[in-house]
Amino acid sequence: MSLLFKLGCAAVICGSASTVATAQTVDPFYACAYTFTDLGTPPDVPGSLGGLVFKADDPDTLLIGGSANSSSGTLHAVPVIRDADDHVIGFGESSTVFAPAPNIDGGLFYGPGGVLFYSRYSNNNIGQILPGETETARDDNLTALGFTSSLGAMMVVPDGFQGAGRLKVASFNASVWHDAELSPDGNGTYDISAPTNAITIGGGPEGIVYVEAGATLFPVESVLVSGYSSGQIVTYETDANGDPIIDTERVFITGLSGAEGGTRDPLTGDFLFSTFGGGDRVLVVRGFTPECDVPANLNRDCLLDFFDVQMFLIAFAAQDPIGDFNNDDMFDFFDALAFLAGFAAGCE
């Protein structure tokens, strides 16, 4: 499918490049580094779409909810097509039913022990499917545990992040974010604790995806939240528990129709999200890499400005390898020429 939007570097020196606006747009703060592509509707998956996740033992298969929010909800296994760099660029010709998932909503992820968790709306439940099985092995009602109704989004904080292993549950109706603990129940599935907090985040949350510190324009650990009601994906920095810090909220993508589940591609780190209604489509966001495309953007903040010039001059004077811009193992006039040429080209 076609690339929907990409904004050139917005900068103090460069100014901002203009493009034709579309219904869905990456916010200018992020648009220098991130683009997204509409992959279309996955084959044979009945709308509306629910959450999505790559199959644990097969990164070329995407599990995605169909007939979301209905008692006939199902999980479908959809083959994906990748390009030479492993980015998902489309779907195979057909998909198969993987498992029944009644009332599936935006939350779908693999938790501890390889258990597949899915959120159930509007009965405010969490279903658990054991590895190698296709039937729900355990179903917990969150209302009885004290969670705000009704569950839309949920995720376990990934390994390597602060708060790793904590369960995050967000109510669609009330836009309230909760934290909880998971503990083995002796049957391969997990007990869910009562909520330990209640944070109002807004937007009608449906999908949660964590972003590592060091991804472009994400200097600290962060989380992306898909908002069905707001038609946006927003970012938050996270605290030591993996919870969003509300006053760090920043818009990532706007103009969405039915923003639903979200997941990360295990091969590329790309962010995929589904839409509930809005054409029942899957979109992929690329750019979660530790650098930007323009070599002259030395500080990798996706802005070509005075700070890149300053960084070059300091590195050049100190004979730091960064200052050898043309990579000829010499520090001379030609490095300055190469840097200035690259800086100018990046502003075009």
**Which parts of the chain have pLDDT scores under 50?**
1-22
User: Where are the CATH 2.120.10 domain residues in the chain?
Assistant: 34-286
Give CA separation, 17 vs 65, 229, 301, 303, in Å: 38, 30, 16, 12
- CATH of the structural domain 34-286, one choice from 3.40.630, 2.60.120, 2.120.10, 2.40.50: 2.120.10
What does the pLDDT read at residue 10? Answer: 32
- Which residue's entry shows tokens 């580094």? 33
What does the pLDDT read at residue 293? Answer: 61
Q: What b/e sequence results for 70-93 when a residue is b if at least 16 CB atoms lie within 10 Å of its CB, and e otherwise?
A: eeebbbbbbbbeeeeeebbebbee
How far is Cα 28 from Cα 16, in angstroms, rounded to an integer?
Answer: 9
What does the pLDDT read at residue 21? Answer: 34
How far is Cα 108 from Cα 153, in angstroms, rounded to an integer?
Answer: 8
How far is Cα 208 from Cα 304, in angstroms, rounded to an integer?
Answer: 31
Q: State the DSSP string of 139-194.
A: EEESGGGTPPS-EEEEEEPPTTSTTTT-EEEEETTT-EEEEE-EEE-SSSSEEEPP
What does the pLDDT read at residue 291? Answer: 56
How far is Cα 346 from Cα 339, in angstroms, rounded to an integer?
Answer: 11
How far is Cα 345 from Cα 329, in angstroms, rounded to an integer?
Answer: 23
Q: Indicate the pTM of the whole model.
A: 0.82
